[in-house]
């Protein structure tokens, strides 16, 4: 799998054997991107017309939109002089129908009040306990949507069940976990060089894994898949995403424009155009807010979470579960306590639910890092990220003491 590297941007260079890797990055120039502004203003349209039947025929009379019962009765009255004795029963029947319709209309306010009461009771049942309401301080801020914040994350937590993956590498005869790690490491550099959102990186890795889970590919196409996944994620997350030319450049023109377009279509079709995949980064920021964690503590949890992207064995983990475990490990490392009642309420995970995954993440940090996969460590060794990659690992005894505590209760 011969990944290329250009002189200006960090592409991928040759590595040992069939697996290729990343060299030292000398210079970084940001690619100039031109946003595509919409042409013209919004198109005007007229208001909705009356949706009722404009030419409804009842009792042989053409009736305009409105209440059919009343219009029909008026039409009957205008013909009353011509009405024979045989038509009297029909007239009586129309009057009965009109009376019934009036009774139904009179009963509607009562039915509506019952529905309103049911909705109000449902809202009261979903009310967040005062001690756990972390959004009340932002009440009135329409951008933060505090009234719906918990509902949104509950929806994302339910939605992640649709995107649970298993170890798919045994179905890829030409790939292995090391190749995937090299690709993800390179994608971290791309995200940093283009100054993309972290959500873009996480979504791109998710898109790559889901596509590899349903499509058998050759190793020569792996970088193209990762680049195209990053392009798709950038279109989904960024205000000003990079264009295809930017990705052609960082791949050192190893692929053609048409190959990117074809791969983009293949990936979207393979995922049934459903790329709104929940990512752990969103849950992590939410749970850090619940814990009132500092920016340094959140960055430490982000470092652990981003390192986990390289691990093939962690691919099946649900995003909310992974984010909770990363935050718990960061809290213990910084000596800020363990899993609180508020965190358990908002995440839905107890301490016993998180302990096995926290131990796996700790083992990941304690094991010697691969010298070829340094993008995440170098990134979080910078002062901008509080140099959290240099923070000493917490002692295993301290960690076990924190994990052995009884499940918290309200």
- Same domain membership, residue 284 and residue 225: no
Same domain, 307 and 353: yes
* pLDDT score, position 138: 72
Tens digits of residue pLDDT in 97-108: 555 455 555 555
pLDDT mean over 139-167: 88
Give the least confident one: 11-25, 193-207, 291-305: 11-25
- 153 occurs within a structural domain: no
Is 287 inside any structural domain?
Answer: yes
For residue 267, what pLDDT is reported?
A: 98
What pLDDT does 102 receive? 53
On whether both 308 and 330 belong to a single domain, the answer is: yes
Q: Which of 66-70, 77-81, 280-284 has the highest mean pLDDT?
A: 280-284
Indicate the residue among 227, 251, 270 that finishes a domain. Answer: 270
Q: Rounded to two decimals, what is the model's pTM?
A: 0.71
Is the pLDDT confidence value at 285 over 60?
A: yes
Same domain, 209 and 260: yes
Whether 119 and 183 map to the same domain: the answer is: no
Are residues 295 and 380 located together in one domain of the fold? yes
pLDDT tens sequence across 112-124: 566 566 555 554 4
pLDDT in tens, 218-259: 999 999 999 999 999 999 999 999 999 999 999 999 999 999
294 and 381 share a domain?
yes
Q: Please check whether residues 266 and 312 belong to one and the same domain.
A: no
Residue 45, domain member (yes or no): no
Q: 383 in a domain, yes or no?
A: yes
In a domain, 410, yes or no: no
Mean of pLDDT over the chain:
79
Share of the chain above pLDDT 70, in %: 68
- Same domain for 302 and 334, yes or no, is yes
**Residues 352 and 388 placed together within one structural domain of the fold:** yes
Residue 284, domain member (yes or no): yes
CA angle 211, 214, 217 (to 5 degrees): 70
CATH code, domain with 300: 1.10.472.10
Average the pLDDT over 257-268 and give the result.
98
Choose the most confident range, by mean pLDDT, from 91-95, 322-326, 400-404, 406-410: 322-326
Domain span holding position 247? 164-270
Residue 220 falls inside a structural domain: yes
Tell me, yes or no, whether 385 lies in a domain: yes
Residues 298, 237 share a domain: no
Are 219 and 300 members of one domain? no
Lowest mean pLDDT among 72-76, 382-386, 395-399: 72-76
Is the pLDDT score of 282 beyond 50?
A: yes
Q: How many structural domains compose the chain?
A: 3
């Amino acid at each position: 799998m011969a990944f290329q590297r250009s002189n200006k941007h960090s592409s991928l260079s040759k590595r040992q054997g069939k697996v290729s890797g990343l060299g030292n990055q000398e210079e970084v120039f940001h690619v100039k991107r031109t946003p595509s502004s919409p042409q013209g203003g919004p198109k005007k349209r007229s208001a909705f017309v009356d949706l009722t039947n404009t030419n409804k025929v009842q009792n042989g009379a053409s009736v305009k939109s409105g209440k059919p019962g009343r219009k029909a009765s008026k039409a009957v009255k205008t013909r009353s002089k011509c009405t024979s004795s045989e038509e009297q029963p029909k007239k009586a029947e129309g009057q009965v129908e009109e009376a019934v319709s009036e009774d139904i209309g009179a009963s509607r306010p009562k039915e509506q009040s019952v529905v309103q009461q049911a909705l109000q009771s449902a809202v009261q049942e979903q009310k967040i306990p005062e001690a756990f309401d972390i959004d009340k301080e932002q009440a009135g801020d329409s951008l933060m949507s505090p009234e719906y914040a918990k509902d949104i994350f509950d929806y994302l937590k339910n939605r992640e069940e649709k995107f649970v993956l298993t170890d798919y590498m045994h179905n890829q005869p030409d790939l292995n976990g090391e190749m995937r790690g090299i690709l993800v490491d390179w994608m971290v550099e791309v995200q940093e060089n283009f100054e993309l959102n972290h959500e873009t990186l996480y979504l791109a890795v998710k898109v790559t894994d889901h596509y590899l889970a349903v499509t058998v590919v050759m190793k020569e196409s792996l970088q193209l898949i990762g680049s195209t996944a990053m392009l798709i994620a950038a279109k989904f997350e960024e205000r000003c995403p990079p264009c295809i030319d930017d990705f052609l450049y960082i791949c050192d023109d190893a692929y053609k424009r048409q190959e990117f377009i074809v791969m983009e279509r293949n990936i979207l079709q393979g995922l049934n155009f459903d790329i709104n995949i929940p990512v752990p980064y969103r849950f992590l920021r939410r749970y850090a807010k619940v814990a009132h964690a500092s920016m340094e503590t959140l960055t430490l949890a982000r470092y652990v979470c981003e390192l986990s992207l390289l691990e093939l064995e962690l691919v099946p983990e649900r995003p909310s579960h992974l984010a909770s475990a990363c935050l718990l490990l960061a809290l213990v490392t910084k000596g800020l306590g363990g899993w609180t009642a508020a965190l358990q309420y908002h995440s839905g995970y107890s301490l016993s639910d998180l302990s096995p995954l926290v131990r796996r993440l700790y083992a990941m940090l304690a094991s010697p890092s691969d010298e070829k996969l340094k993008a995440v460590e170098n990134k979080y060794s910078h002062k901008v990220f509080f140099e959290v990659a240099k923070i000493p690992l917490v002692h295993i005894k301290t960690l076990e003491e924190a994990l052995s505590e009884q499940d918290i209760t309200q």
